């Protein structure tokens, strides 16, 4: 069995330690394991699939460059999510400084292989989300038969969606989210409480 | 004086986000609502996991972007400092820290039931000036510490002392054969047990 195929079966801690030892094959396995979760998180903040993919690439390359600084290999996943959350927020801020609206749907050309899905959401969401066209979170969930969830998340601010994804989907604790987003823990709790209340209210409306 | 009902503003006039919702801001959640919410989250997890497992492109970074990323990662390998090793008959020689660690990792992995995790190397203080005139950034490797994992339930796991000796021997042989290095000490730390 080749070294690379053996590494496909290794646990996360082993892969992180081997990658810190300079094993590129181990880090490639880590890329494959985490890219989807990172895309989900970036997509919750950004509304452009290309931007979200860029953020995921930057996140993983940054992680590779700084991997030797990671003290606790068991913290690798939350460390990655932190980098990704910060990068996503930076993109939104940069867009705001440039005076462009990172959320404006007209700025987003359809992506090859994704455009059809995005279009399907845009036409299939019944107008529930006026800004839905080009929203990668839509693109990401469109084939997931998770449209209900997507529509429940409509109306949440990007900052609330980001907190919500980190907590409810990625399972981070309040302190980890606070650290990832550079926020007081109380603000994280507040955003999550509002997000939860919003989703429950939408669920009630649809009953 | 401001009441909790009035929107607060900061010095720039932007609204301040309340850290925690005030008590009356959010409605009280019923047990039925909580159960429905939890069920929704569970189904989202299950569906996402199923899509990821099936390699569905909707939940994955495009293959082109992933390939580009992996090329970048390989292009940015940290080779570390150059290490002094004994000169060959035809001249001085040095190797990168990355090379040394790769030799060690592969040596450990050849031992049945053992898996390399990470190695630490201590170097002699002097550079390679005393070794054939090559001035490496680091001196000769003096001590090696190997952190390893052992397969649970394997023959190696039943005789850890022997396994550690085998690992030590494999590392020493590889260092001598491939790099001409004979460190004073090779420590083996069995740190984990793995399933397979």
Q: Read off the CATH number of the domain in which A186 is found.
A: 1.10.10.10
Ordered by start, the domain boundaries in chain B are 82-194
pLDDT value at residue B67: 96
Residue reference for tokens 């054969």: B177
A9 and A83 part of one domain: yes
CB count in 10 Å sphere of residue B186: 21
What CATH number is attached to the domain comprising A33? 1.10.1740.10
B82-194: CATH topology: Alpha-Beta Plaits (3.30.70)
pLDDT value at residue A174: 93
Q: Which residue has the higher pLDDT, A142 or A71?
A: A71
pLDDT value at residue A11: 93
Between helices A24-45 and B31-53, what is the axis angle to 10°? Answer: 140
Angle at B179 between CA B173 and CA B181, to 5 degrees: 65
| Distance in Å, alpha carbon of B28 to nearest chain A alpha carbon | 9
A66 and A91 part of one domain: yes
With contacts defined as CB-CB under 8 Å, which chain B residues touch A53? Answer: 61-62, 65
> What residues in chain B have per-residue pLDDT under 50?
1-8, 10, 12, 128-130
Which range marks the domain in which residue A189 is found?
155-207
What is the per-residue pLDDT across A154-192, written as a single tens digit (0 to 9) for each?
Answer: 788 888 888 998 999 888 999 989 988 889 999 999 999
Flag if A144 and B48 touch (Cβ within 8 Å).
yes
Q: What is the mean pLDDT of chain A?
A: 77
A99 and A111 part of one domain: no
Tell how strand B82-88 and strand B91-96 pair up.
antiparallel
Q: Is the pLDDT of residue A102 over 70?
A: no
A119 and A60 part of one domain: no
Q: Which residue has the higher pLDDT, B102 or A108?
A: B102
**CA gap B141, B97 in Å, rounded:** 10
A188 and A160 part of one domain: yes
A81 and A130 part of one domain: no
A92 and A8 part of one domain: yes
Annotate A45-80 with DSSP letters as a single string.
H-S-HHHHHHHHHHHHHHHHHHGGG-S-GGGHHHHH
A60 and A116 part of one domain: no
B121: nearest Cα among B171, B162, B86, B78:
B171
Q: Which residues contact B116 (CB under 8 A, 6 or more apart)?
A: A18, A21, B104, B105, B106, B108, B109, B146, B147, B148
* Chain B interface, best mutation among A7, A36, A114, A164, by max B CB count within 10 A: A36
A3 and A98 part of one domain: yes
94-133 in B: which are within 8 Å (CB) of A?
Answer: 97-98, 101-102, 105-106, 109, 115-119
Backbone angles phi, psi at B136, to 5 degrees: -70, 165
Distances in Å between the Cα of A35 and the Cα atoms of A31, A131, A143, B11 are 6, 25, 18, 40
Q: How many residues does chain A have?
A: 207
From A73, A103, A133, the end of a domain falls on: A103
**CA gap A187, A163 in Å, rounded:** 10
Number of domain units in chain A: 3
Q: What percent of chain A has pLDDT over 90?
A: 43
Which of A7-11, A149-153, B132-136, B180-184 holds the top average pLDDT? Answer: B180-184
A18 and A63 part of one domain: yes
Burial status of residue A117 (CB atoms within 10 A of its CB: 0-12, 13-18, 19 or more): buried
A98 and A2 part of one domain: yes
Q: Which residue has the higher pLDDT, A49 or B15?
A: A49
* Chain B interface, best mutation among A39, A136, A141, A144, by max B CB count within 10 A: A144
A27-31, A120-124, B26-30, B110-114: segment of lowest average pLDDT: A120-124
B14 touches chain A (CB under 8 A): no
A47 and A124 part of one domain: no
Nearest to B58 among A142, A148, A186 (CB): A142
Nearest to B52 among A28, A36, A145 (CB): A36
What is the per-residue pLDDT across A131-143, written as a single tens digit (0 to 9) for each?
Answer: 334 555 555 554 4
Q: Which residue on chain B is closest to A29 by alpha carbon?
A: B70
């Amino acid at each position: 069995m080749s070294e690379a195929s053996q590494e496909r079966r290794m646990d996360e801690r082993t892969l992180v330690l081997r990658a810190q030892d300079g094993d590129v094959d181990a880090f490639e396995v880590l890329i494959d394991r985490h890219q989807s979760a990172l895309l989900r998180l970036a997509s919750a903040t950004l509304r452009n699939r290309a931007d979200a993919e860029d953020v995921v690439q930057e996140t993983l390359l940054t992680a590779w460059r700084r991997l030797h600084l990671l003290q606790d290999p068991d913290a690798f996943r939350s460390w990655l999510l932190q980098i990704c959350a910060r990068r996503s927020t930076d993109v939104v801020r940069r867009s705001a400084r440039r005076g462009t609206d990172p959320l404006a749907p007209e700025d987003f050309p359809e992506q090859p292989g994704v455009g059809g899905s995005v279009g399907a959401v845009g036409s299939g969401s019944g107008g529930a989300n006026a800004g839905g066209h080009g929203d990668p979170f839509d693109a990401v969930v469109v084939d997931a038969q998770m449209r209900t969830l997507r529509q429940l998340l409509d109306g949440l601010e990007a900052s609330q969606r980001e907190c919500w994804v980190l907590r409810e989907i990625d399972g981070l604790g309040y302190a980890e989210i606070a650290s990832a987003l550079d926020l007081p823990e109380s603000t994280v709790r507040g955003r999550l409480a509002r997000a939860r209340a919003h989703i429950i209210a939408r669920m009630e409306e649809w009953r | 004086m401001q009441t909790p009902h009035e929107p607060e503003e900061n010095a720039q006039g932007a609204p301040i986000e309340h850290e925690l919702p005030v008590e009356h801001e959010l409605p009280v959640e019923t047990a039925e609502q909580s159960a429905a919410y939890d069920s929704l989250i569970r189904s989202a997890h299950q569906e996402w996991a199923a899509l990821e497992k099936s390699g569905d492109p909707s939940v994955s970074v495009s293959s082109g972007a992933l390939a580009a990323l992996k090329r970048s990662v390989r292009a940015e390998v940290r080779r570390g400092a150059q290490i002094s090793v004994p000169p060959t008959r035809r001249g001085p020689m040095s190797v990168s820290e990355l090379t040394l660690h790769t030799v060690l990792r592969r040596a450990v992995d050849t031992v049945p039931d053992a898996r390399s995790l990470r190695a630490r190397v201590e170097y002699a203080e002097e550079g390679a000036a005393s070794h054939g005139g090559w001035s490496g950034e680091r001196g000769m490797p003096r001590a090696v510490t190997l952190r390893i994992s052992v397969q649970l339930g394997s023959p190696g796991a039943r005789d850890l002392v022997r396994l550690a000796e085998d690992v030590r021997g494999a590392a020493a042989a590889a260092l001598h054969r491939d790099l001409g290095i004979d460190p004073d000490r090779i420590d083996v730390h069995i740190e984990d047990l793995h399933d397979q």
